[in-house]
Amino acid sequence: MFRHRANYSEQGPVLKWVTEDQVEELHLASLEVLERTGMQIDHPEALKLLKDAGCIVEKNRVRIPGWLVEEAIRLAPRKITISNRLGERVMHLEKNRVYFGSGSDLPFTIDFETGIRRRSVKKDVEQACQVMDYLPNFDFVMSYAIASDSPSQASDLHQFEAMTRNTVKPIVFTTHNEKNTRALIEMAAAVVGGYEELRKNPFLVLYSEPISPLVHTKDGIGKMFACIEHGIPVTYVSGVVAGGTTPVTKAGCIVQMNAETLAGLVMAQLKQKGAAIIVGGNGTPLDMKHQTTLYGSPEHAMNYAILTQLSQYYQIPIFTEAGCVNAPIPDIQAGFEAGMNLLMARLSGANLVHDVGYLEGGKTASLPFLTMCNDFIDMVHYMGKGTTINEDTCGVDTIDEVGPGNNFLASPHTYTHFRDEIWNPRLFTRMFWEIWEEKGSKNMLERARELTSNILKTHQTQPLSQEATEEMARIIARVEKEDLFL
């Protein structure tokens, strides 16, 4: 009997884009930016916290010493757990645990019925969340679209209401300002039965960011502080375009993004030791021909691979993006761009990976493309599990039993393993040409449209209680009324 030489069970491949020494060099360069150049901080409480902690504060310019950054890194939790709205703890953000979800706030949508690109509306948020609630490889949701037909002062609250009614999955949310953030937290508490239940099992994560280069706004920090007060995890990360709001070099872009994120980390830990902060960023280059943000570019994926290594160096969960493309429609370019950066994110071990399903560099939404991306995620998860190598899978005994000139179709070994060893997609075509013709000669987008249509017609999300629905409506109406008198 064959004896394998290594006691090696299933071990997924790990992508390391730079060396450990290079990671440390990027970290030290980030500390130099914080100490030498510093940040503009436009939040009074944050300024006081930073000054009291030993930072050099000149009006709203703050220089943060490296030792304080290192202390904040030590205080930040290395694992953050997110629940769904049913209270089930479903996402454990820790090293090499990867979760995928959509992005937020796309201004345009390719209408599912007409195929015409138009302004996004609240119904688009509802339908996107209904589709993602059904698709198993979307672990969390963001609004995907903008509720542009809702009153602008409360459109973020309308989006949150649409999300919670149409999915039980965890939610990453955006808000206009601190006031609306607090109203949204009130809505979330109504959904789960109170603030303490929300603190115990938060089902939502704030996405807030500074304004690059090096500016931390009153609302950006205020939203973060409001969530920290209620135990709600926060992603406080930079959204940049390299060559526009950061240096054009990939290393310079990463250093500035990381410095901005570390400044947010320091403020969070000064506000509350152990505050659940997720680092990372959105680092796309700027296309110098067309002034577009290059979501589907190789640089985009390379930057995130390095940011993920930095987060693992800090032992803090990371928020990055993948599955987002520059192609304006779900075509061959879109599939290649999405597949490439999804695989990079999976193999690098990023934790919270958003913007899946973005078209046109983060401008346009498409429900069939979301459905296609479910298969893409399934493939990269399959590849990310690696190859199981042990005595059984090496198959030496089976090869001996079958022998020369025979085949393995009838082998019990094949029957035992083929479901795990051969990836089985839902939308990809693998049949012979003649059979494909008999079945209508449909391309992948057409098959995705059919599946999406079936989801919209048949899938029902577990409903909210009547009390929660009414309370959320009351809170939204209150905010809309308050803003009328400002």
Give the Cα separation of 230 and 189 in Å (integer). Answer: 10
- Residue partners of 268: CB distance under 8 A and separation at least 6: 72, 76, 224, 228, 234, 236, 275, 277
Q: Please name which of 236, 231, 235, 244 lies closest in space to residue 217, comparing C-alpha atoms.
A: 236
Which pLDDT belongs to residue 368?
Answer: 98
- Residue partners of 332: CB distance under 8 A and separation at least 6: none
Which two tokens mark 391? 């005595």
- What average pLDDT does this structure show over 178-206? 98
Report whether 346 contacts 305 (CB < 8 A): no
Residues 93-130 have pLDDT tens digits of 999 999 999 999 999 999 999 999 999 999 999 999 99
Q: Tokens 């640089």 belong to which residue?
A: 299
% of the chain surpassing 70 pLDDT: 97
Which whole-number Å values give the CA distances from 155 to 12, 94, 235, in the listed order?
A: 42, 33, 21
H or E segment at 353? strand 352-354
Which pLDDT belongs to residue 421?
Answer: 96
Which pLDDT belongs to residue 484?
Answer: 63
From start to end of 233-292, where are the E strands?
234-236, 238-242, 277-285
Which pLDDT belongs to residue 4?
Answer: 40
Number of Cβ within 10 Å of residue 478's Cβ equals 14
Which pLDDT belongs to residue 482?
Answer: 87
Q: How buried is 11 (Cβ within 10 angstroms: 0-12 exposed, 13-18 middle, 19+ buried)?
A: exposed
Long-range contacts of 44-48 (CB under 8 A, 24+ apart): 45/225, 45/271, 46/216, 46/221, 46/225, 46/267, 46/270, 46/271
Which pLDDT belongs to residue 202?
Answer: 98
Residues 227-258 have pLDDT tens digits of 999 999 999 999 999 999 999 999 999 999 99
Task: Determine how β-strand 108-110 pairs with β-strand 117-119.
Answer: antiparallel
Residues 308-323 have pLDDT tens digits of 999 999 999 999 999 9
Q: Please name which of 131, 139, 53, 133 lies closest in space to residue 93, comparing C-alpha atoms.
A: 139
% of the chain surpassing 90 pLDDT: 95
Give the SS3 label for residue 304. helix
Structure confidence at residue 486 as a pLDDT band (50, 70, 90): low
Q: How buried is 354 (Cβ within 10 angstroms: 0-12 exposed, 13-18 middle, 19+ buried)?
A: buried
pTM for this model (two decimals): 0.95
Which two tokens mark 84? 């769904």
Whether cis (ω within 30° of 0) applies to the bond prior to 213 is yes
Which pLDDT belongs to residue 12?
Answer: 82
DSSP character at residue 152: G
Q: Please name which of 217, 212, 140, 154 lies closest in space to residue 186, comparing C-alpha atoms.
A: 154
Which pLDDT belongs to residue 5?
Answer: 40
Number of Cβ within 10 Å of residue 119's Cβ equals 12
- What average pLDDT does this structure show over 22-30? 98
Structure confidence at residue 185 as a pLDDT band (50, 70, 90): very high
Residues 212-222 have pLDDT tens digits of 999 999 999 99
Which pLDDT belongs to residue 463?
Answer: 96
Give the Cα separation of 115 and 299 in Å (integer). Answer: 31
Q: Tokens 């360069």 belong to which residue?
A: 29
Which whole-number Å values give the CA distances from 342 to 94, 160, 317, in the listed order?
A: 18, 26, 18
Residues 42-89 have pLDDT tens digits of 999 999 999 999 999 999 999 999 999 999 999 999 999 999 999 999
Which two tokens mark 111? 């209408």
Whether domain 1-394+427-486 has CATH 3.20.20.480: yes
Rounded to a whole number of angstroms, the distance between the first and last alpha carbons of the chain is 81
